[in-house]
Amino acid sequence: MRTQLITASAVVLLTAAGATANPRPAALLEDQQPAPVKAAATERPLTGTWRSAPEEMKLTSDFDKSVWGANATSVRTVELVVKSNMDATLRVVKKVVDGRRRTVPASTWIEEAQLRIGGTTPGVADRVEHDVTVTSAVRLFPDDPGYRFTVDGLRVKLVTFTARDANSLEVRYDTPEGRGSFWETLTRARTAPPPARTSANTGS
C-alpha cells in the first residue's frame, strides 16, 4: 500500500529547432581561374552524448515530508544521445533522495523519448534552432516494471550556438500536461582517452 502511495505521489510531484555569375572568357589560364566560393559554415555535428548537471529542489511541504520524509530533495538529470546527427534518444530521470543522499525507494521516474532531428532555423543572436520530431515517448517507474505509459503530445526543441563552443546545447522540454516543462543546458560528454601504451623492456 505504501509503495502504491509513493508511486502515485511521484507522478504528481515529478511531472511538474542564388547569385548569377558574370560571364568570363573561356581561355583563362589555370592560375587565373576564380577561386571557388566558400560555402556557409557547416552545421556542427551533434553526434555524441550530452548530459545536464543535476537540478535539485528541496521538498519542504507537509505533504512532501509525509511521503518522502524530512530533508528530502527532488533531483532531475537529462541525457541526450545523438546516434547519427538525425536519430536521438532523450532521457529525463527524476528521483527523490533523503537527507543522506540515498535514493528513496519507488521514487525514480523516467521519461524516454525517441527523436528525429531535422533542419535548422536561425534564431535570435547566435542561436540555431533544430527541428525535432518526437517519434515516441514513454513514462515508467523502474521500481514497478509493469508500469509503462505512452506519452502523447510531448514536444522537444534543441538549440545550438554559432558563437560559443560546440560542447553545449539547450533542450526545451514541454510535457503534454504542462507541468514539469523546462529549459536545460546540456554539455557534451568527453570520451575517455585511450590508455597509455607501455613499452616492455627487452632484456639481452
pLDDT 10s digits, 15-39: 543 333 344 444 444 445 444 433 3
**40 domain-assigned:** no
In the predicted model, what is the mean pLDDT of residues 51-80? 95
H helices present in the chain, as ranges:
2-14, 62-68
Among all chains, which residue has been given the C-alpha cell 532555423? 121
Chain centroid offset of residue 97 CA: 22
Q: Is residue 113 part of a domain?
A: yes
Residue 37 counted as domain residue? no
Q: Tell whether the model's pLDDT for residue 126 goes beyond 80.
A: yes
User: Tell me, what's the pLDDT at 42?
Assistant: 41
Q: How far is CA 185 from CA 7, 38, 120, in A?
A: 28, 32, 18
**Is position 199 within any domain?**
no
- 0.85 surpassed by pTM: no
Contact 151, 135 (CB under 8 A): no
Cα maximum dimension of the chain: 88
Report in angstroms the alpha-carbon separations of 76 from 63, 85, 168, 180: 20, 25, 18, 11
Q: What is the DSSP letter of 43?
A: P
Residue 1 has pLDDT above 50, yes or no: no
Total domains present in the chain: 1
Of how many residues is the chain composed? 204
pLDDT at 7 > cutoff 70? no
Question: For the purposes of burial, counting CB atoms within 10 Å of the CB of 202, is it exposed (0-12), middle (13-18) or buried (19 or more)?
Answer: exposed
Q: How confident is the model over 83-116, as pLDDT tens digits?
A: 987 999 999 999 999 999 999 999 999 999 999 9
What's the Cα-to-Cα distance from 166 to each of 34, 44, 86, 146, 169, rounded to whole Å?
33, 7, 17, 40, 8
User: How many other C-beta atoms can be found within 10 angstroms of the C-beta atom of residue 12?
Assistant: 11
Show Cβ contacts of residue 86 under 8 Å, excluding neighbours closer than 6 positions. Answer: 116, 117, 118
The range of the structural domain enclosing residue 130 comes to 2-14+47-188
Cell numbers describing residue 24: 568570363
Is the separation of the CB atoms in 112 and 138 below 8 Å? Answer: yes
Q: Which of 25-34, 44-53, 171-180 has the lowest mean pLDDT?
A: 25-34
pLDDT value at residue 47: 93
In a domain, 143, yes or no: yes
pLDDT of residue 13: 52
110 lies in some domain: yes
What counts of helices (H) and strands (E) characterise the chain? 2, 10
Query: What is the pLDDT, as a whole number, of residue 108?
Result: 96
**Dihedral sign for Cα atoms in the order 39, 40, 41, 45:** negative
Amino acid identity of residue 103, one-letter, is: T
d(CA 145, CA 88): 24
Is residue 33, in this structure, part of any structural domain at all? no
Answer yes or no: is 19 within a domain: no
